[in-house]
Structure 1
Amino acid sequence: MVYDRFAGTAVLHPDDASALGCLGYVARASGLRSDARVEHPTIVLPITEIGAPDGDVLARYTVRRDEFAASAALAQHIVESHTGPIEYAATLHPVGAPSSGIGIVEGWRGTIVHRVEIDVDGRITRAKVVDPSWFNWPALPVAMADTIVPDFPLANKSFNQSYAGNDL
């Protein structure tokens, strides 16, 4: 019964996902590669890329389910392979000039980007966060095009976008 409700419902085709710039599991469930850990690596980790080609509710569920197992395996690898002390320096030194930086991480919804600007004293003067929901929200009505209205709650939750993340 669950399979019948998930399979073929709210399909987001790969061409549409690509044209809209979808990120994270929404993109991966439509057959696209999208993972900041692979596209912007800062360290070599055994990342298991998960994907599904169908773009429906079932594909989005399957990708999230399989990513949970892959994330648990990755965390286990990191813990078991770590050697030596963990060092942390709490002291930040002023850079002497205005500066900026970008941080890119793979969150559970997809790529999250932070950009921060600081002044000469190291104070934050500007910060911008871009959540993957900003890119993925436009995909929901596209996926709903051939979907019946009573399936909207199921489709909406399969995308599981952040309302607040859209406004960052």
Structure 2
Amino acid sequence: MTSLKYIAHYPEPIQNQASELISSGRLGAYIELRYPDTHQVQSDKALYQYVNDIKTEYMRKSGTLSQVRYDSKLSTLKNALGIHTYQSRVQGSKLKSHNGITVASLFKDAPPEFLQMIVVHELAHFKEKEHSKSFYQLCCHMEPNYHQFELDTRLWLQWREL
């Protein structure tokens, strides 16, 4: 049996469905049928614009984005798909903030829904630092299908590893 490390914390019925798809060799077909497209956000500049558009639509009052980029070492080094950074520092008499988002490069080849899920997740961290109920409510406000996209992203990662 294949280890389901990406969905190990999900309820047993979901894990059983995933195991069945994997053992029957249908996981790839399931993912490709539900998410046939890939996005066109390939450069760091395009990613910055994409993230900033979502931030402007849902989080106008939060600080400006200083940096948004893809990182090829992210998933292997930090075991994360995206990272948010937040720094505040005093500059003269003002408090300056630095907000950054880094997305794992493997999402360059992902369906657009998966990239959006990662971006929404990292943007939500600017308002809610912990994974709390209000954090997930904010994620669902920005992307109503957030939980389904998160599960399918995890299944996609599992399929890529097979």
Settle same-fold status: TM greater than 0.5: no
* TM-score relative to the length of structure 1: 0.30
* TM-score relative to the length of structure 2: 0.30
